[in-house]
Structure 1
Amino acid sequence: MHLVLFDIDGTLVESYDFDTECFQAAIKAVLGISIGPDWSRFHHVTDSGILAEVIDELNLHSDSERIAEEVKSSS
């Protein structure tokens, strides 16, 4: 038997810090830049929203799909 459990509200696991570290490491691995954990500087505080803003800041629009896939597979 296979079981999948989703805990999106932190009821079972408080993984916010771990998620943040993984996302930051993935961006560092793919883009070679460090982003801090202060999400208040971003307008959209989701992984995809933050990544879109980083891509925009770096003017990498033409590679945005590739970058998004690489960040996703790195995290």
Structure 2
Amino acid sequence: MDYVLPYFSKVESKKRLFEVVNMPRFTTFDKDSFKRDSSNYILFLENRIGYPAFIKPVDLVSSINTFKAKDRHEM
């Protein structure tokens, strides 16, 4: 199963390719952190990723429900 995971999980694929391929900054959305303190979590995302930010669900295929946020208002 370990050899299949990088092809199944987008996040795991990016982590493994990070040193090999030039990748844009990314992070996995942390629902608990967002629920606990949404303002600080959005600040964290802004500092980590910046704008424009491309938001994509990890549990859907292809580019379904992908969204581009140009600023905090759109985030």
Q: Same fold (TM over 0.5)?
A: no
- Give 1 or 2: higher helix fraction: 1
TM-score when scaled to structure 1? 0.21
Larger RCO of the pair (alpha carbons < 8 Å, separation 6+): 1
- Give 1 or 2: higher strand fraction: 2
TM-score when scaled to structure 2? 0.21
